[in-house]
Amino acid sequence: MSESKINISRRDSLKKLTALTFVGAASPAIALESPIDSKENIQWDKAIDIAIIGSGFAGLAAAITAVKNGAKSVAIFEKMSVYGGNSAINGGLFAVPESPLQSKENVKDSAKLMVKDQIASGRGVADTTLLEHVAKNANKALQLTLEAGAEYHPYLQQLGGHSKPRSYQTTVNCGAGITQPMLQYARELGVKTYNRHKFNGFIQNEQGDVTGIKLVKGFYFGEDRGQTINVKATRGVIMASGGFAQNIPLRMAQDPTLNAEVGCTNVKGATGDGLLAMLRIGATPIHMAHIQSGPWASPDEGGFGYVSNYSLFNFPHSVAINRATGQRFMNEIADRKTRCDAELTCRDENGNPLPPILVTSYHYSKHHSSLKKVLKYGVGWQFDTLEELANHFNVPISPLKKQIEQYNQYTKSGVDEQFGKIMDLAKNKPIVPPFTAVRLWPKAHYCQGGVQINKRAQVLDSYSGKPIRGLLAAGEVTGGVHGVSRLGSCAIPECLVMGMTAGQTIMEV
């Protein structure tokens, strides 16, 4: 059998296999059509240089970079009614080693150290080459956002698993503080943007090169309506369509524990359409089972909510308490997987979830703007005494008092003798009244798995191991970058840097 016939057979098999996967996913949207159309005489409705699927960090960075590198016609297609996707609603935390703020605060850091932290969190299976590329270019990505008009708090945060404080945060405490100015900047540069345009498959030539895309124009999420159009992309397509955490059957196929009872921080459109289409034309899947949950989420609100940012800020100088014992049960700034696993052990005598509480002194929690909304919307509480707090959450008061006293000694000595927590941001910050408290329980948050790419953001074919011509990808739709667990605030640099890389590469090939 010739190689060409083997290749065609393989593609047909992958097409059928993934089609079955997608049918099982029971997508709430229009069914994904066959992504392969090799007709040379296809009827094109529009022709542009570059088509970008997704309007989050990666897609916007790719568009801006492509235009700066000479692209004449670039279009971003977004399937939802609003732009930004998950990027707009994330925490707006951005890890940058050797940043201007670190220099100002005399924090000694390096790209090498950031990568070391990420490899540890990724349990040794992260892609070191991609991590190094992202870390070394994070400052360039930061400058791009500043150029676009993004604004950040004048202080750094140290998130779980990071050995140094290196995380910026937008002044609005969410990713929209980056996506909105970047969207405006992209438009000023001439990038065309289209919402309610759902990606519905690739168009390829006889050689298998991606030459265009099929879209459903006038798409409304959850409704079977819209007009299919064909868009020719003379230079290629950049997929920045995000993860699949809202596709419950697909995520359960990777991890059966992530069933419908598990909450999710993502926008409803995070169903993995772009990922599935790339798999159907031969892209290599990688680390699909590594789906991360957020240990800072609250069971008392939907989605990402207000508690998440509140917790992220306060973990370094707070204690997480098991309500059944009144004791700490984890390092509050360990990596995400370690903390999620620890939180899930907090159960009542019947084995039912007993969400632990994060206890903070109001003297320090008040410095984060999210506290006002946490209290206003009843997803967090304030107490004048430890007895009031214990009574509200039915926590045994005696062991709780002893635990707080013990922890307060660690804030003086700078050494956590229980869990080895880095106490740099907790030094001389005892847990004293009045207190604030929130409940914690993990929510599905980020898909470490996706399609495999190389350092140039090119999507790799599963049969040849070579790039699929005309197809690049960046952001959460790709996989293998972070390994088993992603460190908080590392998604933004990854999405921005790889988006910039895709925008540059597509102008060079």
* Residues tagged active-site: 336
Gap between the Cα atoms of 16 and 290, Å rounded? 24
Burial of 320 by CB count in 10 Å (0-12 exposed, 13-18 middle, 19+ buried)? Answer: buried
- Report residue 316: phi and psi, to 5°: -60, -30
Hey, which residues does 478 pair with through a beta bridge?
451
Tokens of 216: 């459903």
Burial of 154 by CB count in 10 Å (0-12 exposed, 13-18 middle, 19+ buried)? Answer: exposed
Tokens of 225: 């309506």
Burial of 10 by CB count in 10 Å (0-12 exposed, 13-18 middle, 19+ buried)? Answer: middle
Burial of 442 by CB count in 10 Å (0-12 exposed, 13-18 middle, 19+ buried)? Answer: buried
Cα–Cα distance list, 219 to 25, 192, 198 (Å): 19, 18, 6
Instruction: Round the CA-based radius of gyration of the chain to a whole number and report it.
Output: 23
Reduced to 3 states, what is the DSSP secondary structure of residue 502? helix
Gap between the Cα atoms of 383 and 321, Å rounded? 16
Contact between 425 and 410 under an 8 Å Cβ cutoff? The reply is no
Contact between 15 and 279 under an 8 Å Cβ cutoff? The reply is no
Alpha helices in 289-385 (DSSP H): 307-314, 336-343, 362-365, 370-376
Gap between the Cα atoms of 184 and 76, Å rounded? 13
Under DSSP, the state recorded for 451 is E
Hey, which residues does 197 pair with through a beta bridge?
217
Tokens of 479: 């996989």
Strands 450-451 and 46-53: unpaired
Tokens of 309: 């940012």
Gap between the Cα atoms of 331 and 335, Å rounded? 9
Cα–Cα distance list, 431 to 404, 435, 441 (Å): 7, 8, 22
